[in-house]
Structure 1
């Protein structure tokens, strides 16, 4: 027996012919198509980590700014609150950082973890860098460290069965909440 589809009033299909509800994430298509991805390896080749600090903090999703590095939200997060810490300088490899950059990236990472615990009650974290395309870096030309908050049971059936990640909050709301909980230096 086929079920009819219905419109949710905003032009979206809520239930398919198979009777299953659908979650639509059209913003992910930009990531899939590689939009906003640099077209080269230089800082002037569309690097989003060079562009973000030039924007206002809300527009660039910037959480905190230091002298040599900054923290911002991931535009395509794995979990709510997924943030990254980047040097301002366009460098690709961890060994290219100077002492001040290394120290500030560490301090911003600690502040991000503190803010995520305070704002969201994160129970654990995945912290790390993918250096080079072979290691899985989506933007290999500009070093960035991921800080992904985790909770017990946060991997549920949606990513496994539906290849869909459910994020309960818009990025602007996440940014506001984390900024409010960011440690004052």
Structure 2
């Protein structure tokens, strides 16, 4: 058994997600925007080509996913208008999180392909993860527990209000 080290990102709470995605299911990023229950689905903003949804299994409180509606795994397959809205929504997500949550930094990026760490490899999406000093502490390593300080629904309420009022 390997021991945790500073060079390894340990995310044991993702096991529930990984176990749930091993079944043959449809694409969650294609299904969720077609449903009307945005709060239940943690969808906080809709655009013409892209939407913002909260990560149900976040690395940190406020972890957002910016996703094109069109199902594609390749960034190069996006049309110009999709790409422009995608990056505008990434900026808006960062602005909203900065104002609401006051993080000290961000991780922004995407994992292309399952070997690169993509949990949903067939539908590209960007992660916007707010970061604070000390947000990776002993709990995930020793206790196999990630401490998220606020319920997802409370965070959704704040983010939804922000995006509805900052167009």
Q: TM-score range by the shorter chain?
A: 0.7 to 0.9
1:179 is matched with 160
Q: Does 1:66 align with 2:52?
A: no
Render the CA deviation track for 1:135-154: whole Å, top value 9, x for unaligned: 11001000010000001121
Give the Cα separation in 1 of the matches to 2:87 and 2:160: 18
Give the Cα separation in 1 of the matches to 2:77 and 2:117: 19
Task: State the Cα distance separating 1:50 from its structure 2 match.
Answer: 0.6
RMSD, aligned CA: 1.8
* Bigger Rg, which one: 1
Query: What runs of 5+ residues in structure 1 fail to find an aligned partner?
Result: 1-26, 40-44
Query: What runs of 5+ residues in structure 2 fail to find an aligned partner?
Result: 1-12
Asked if the contact 1:38/1:47 (under 8 Å) is kept, the reply is no
Task: State the Cα distance separating 1:161 from its structure 2 match.
Answer: 2.0
Give the Cα separation in 2 of the matches to 1:30 and 1:152: 27
Asked if the contact 1:93/1:143 (under 8 Å) is kept, the reply is yes
Aligned residue for 2:90, secondary structure, equals helix
Matched ranges for 1:131-170 at <5 A: 131-170=112-151
Asked if the contact 2:53/2:64 (under 8 Å) is kept, the reply is yes
Q: How many residues align?
A: 153
Q: Does 1:125 align with 2:125?
A: no
Give the Cα separation in 1 of the matches to 2:14 and 2:76: 32
Give the Cα separation in 1 of the matches to 2:14 and 2:154: 18
Give the Cα separation in 1 of the matches to 2:87 and 2:108: 11
1:31 is matched with 17
Asked if the contact 1:118/1:181 (under 8 Å) is kept, the reply is no
Q: Decide whether aligned partners of structure 1 residues 38 and 32 sit closer, same or farther in structure 2, where only a CA change above 3 A counts.
A: closer
Q: Which runs of 4+ in 1 moved over 6 A?
A: none
Asked if the contact 2:108/2:127 (under 8 Å) is kept, the reply is yes
Give the Cα separation in 2 of the matches to 1:179 and 1:118: 13
Q: Does 1:88 align with 2:47?
A: no
Q: Which has the higher contact order (CA 8 A, sep 6+)?
A: 2
Task: Looking at secondary structure, tell me which structure has more helix per residue.
Answer: 2
Task: State the Cα distance separating 1:87 from its structure 2 match.
Answer: 0.3
Question: Which of 46, 71, 84 is the equivalent residue of 1:103?
Answer: 84
Aligned residue for 1:34, secondary structure, equals helix
1:13 is matched with none
